Amino acid sequence: MKSYWRKESLRKFLRASNVSEAIISAWNSDESKRDFLDRIFQKHQITDSGKTVIYGMAQSLSEQATFPDLRNWEDSAQKISEATKAVAELKSYLKAQDEEIRSEREREQAKAKAQEERQTIQRTLTDKAKLQQRLESLHLKVGTQQGGYEFQDWFFDLLEFCEIQNRRPYVSAGRQIDGSLTHDGTTYLIELKFTGSQSSATDIDSIRAKVDDKADNTMGIILSISGFSSVAIAQASGRKTTLLLFDAMHLYLFLSGTLSFGEIISRIRRHVSQTGEAYLPVANFSG
């Protein structure tokens, strides 16, 4: 997950690791990297030959010194840093295991156990329950500057979990941009509001000005934890609007497991295209 961001690069690595072509070909476009890897690791753990494949993959990953697939992204430095840390942890773990194992039988059992433990650690760090706990812990910080920074970090961790291409906060033409994400071929500038009051028409004007400065296919997402005033919703809506409005209920819709975050973006985008209304309450999703 850390070393290979592009699916095609991951496929090449799996082929080189002797994962069968039949298994790789069964990876459909709608299945995320995380779900696919979970599926193939479970399959390989039930046979000795499969465990050998897993161990070979672990050895190859632990020997990585460069990360070609992580170059030329806006956040390449961060991606490479995280991958380097993950490789170092894996190498340390494998070394400790090799020192403790004395027999071939014990070695084979340890290969599968090591992979299972690493999967458990990764899920603990990034699963939905953890994300929800972190969000709920921020409730008392709504309206504070520190809370805003922590919410910003939380939101981009959510995008990483969902495997949605994103860029963290940056400055463009003198304007502070809270970040961006790309979904279904459209890039959205992001505006995050972690305030105790509803977002106003002024907030709408701010994100619209940033979007209007960019390419024609650029849109904007404004996420306001406290929602929007009726005037703000009206200001954001209209003919050829380029804005999507999200509130806390959209986040909890994802955290509850009802829809993926990508599906929520697509649902609101479709509503905007059909009606010109920038805001679709969660209660109206089925309508």
Are 194 and 86 found together in one domain? no
Are 121 and 250 found together in one domain? no
Are 142 and 236 found together in one domain? yes
Residue 31 backbone dihedrals phi, psi, to 5 degrees:
-90, 130
Is residue 63 situated within a structural domain? Answer: yes
Is residue 259 situated within a structural domain? Answer: yes
Residue count of the chain, please give it: 287
Are 116 and 238 found together in one domain? no
Check: CB of residue 157 under 8 Å from CB of residue 131: yes
| CATH, residue 270 | 3.40.1350.10
Are 226 and 154 found together in one domain? yes
Give the domain range for residue 155: 131-284
Token pair, residue 215, equals: 């390419």
Chain centre to alpha carbon of residue 264: 14
The residues, ordered by sequence, that sit 6+ positions from 139 with a Cβ below 8 Å of its Cβ are none
The domain boundary, picked from 104, 126, 148, lies at 126
Q: What pLDDT, on the 0 to 100 scale, is given for residue 122?
A: 62
The domain boundary, picked from 94, 111, 126, lies at 126
Q: What pLDDT, on the 0 to 100 scale, is given for residue 100?
A: 74
Are 111 and 179 found together in one domain? no
The domain boundary, picked from 91, 126, 161, lies at 126
Residue type, 122: Q
Is residue 168 situated within a structural domain? Answer: yes
Is residue 137 situated within a structural domain? Answer: yes
Is residue 2 situated within a structural domain? Answer: no
Is residue 23 situated within a structural domain? Answer: yes
Domain count, the chain: 2
Are 159 and 118 found together in one domain? no
Closest CA to 131 of 100, 156, 109, 148: 156
What is the DSSP code (8-state) at residue 197? S
Reading the chain (287 residues) residue by residue, the pLDDT tens digits are 899 999 999 999 999 999 999 999 999 888 899 899 999 899 899 998 999 999 899 999 999 999 999 998 989 999 999 999 999 999 998 888 877 766 666 767 777 777 777 776 566 455 788 899 999 999 999 999 999 999 999 999 999 999 999 999 998 878 889 999 999 999 999 999 999 999 999 999 999 999 998 988 899 999 999 999 999 999 999 988 999 999 999 999 999 888 999 999 999 999 999 999 999 999 999 86
Q: What pLDDT, on the 0 to 100 scale, is given for residue 102?
A: 65
In degrees to the nearest 10, what's the CA dihedral of 23, 88, 86, 36?
A: 10
Is residue 1 situated within a structural domain? Answer: no
Q: What pLDDT, on the 0 to 100 scale, is given for residue 111?
A: 75
Cite the DSSP H helix spans in the chain: 7-16, 21-25, 33-44, 48-62, 76-100, 104-126, 128-137, 145-161, 201-212, 230-236, 248-255, 261-275
Closest CA to 77 of 172, 209, 167: 167
Are 168 and 115 found together in one domain? no
Are 118 and 220 found together in one domain? no
Are 118 and 138 found together in one domain? no
Q: Three-state SS for 218?
A: strand
> pLDDT digits over 110-143, tens only?
777 777 777 765 664 557 888 999 999 999 999 9
Are 175 and 118 found together in one domain? no
Is residue 11 situated within a structural domain? Answer: yes
CA dihedral (82, 87, 92, 94) positive or negative: positive
Are 139 and 122 found together in one domain? no
Q: What pLDDT, on the 0 to 100 scale, is given for residue 226?
A: 97
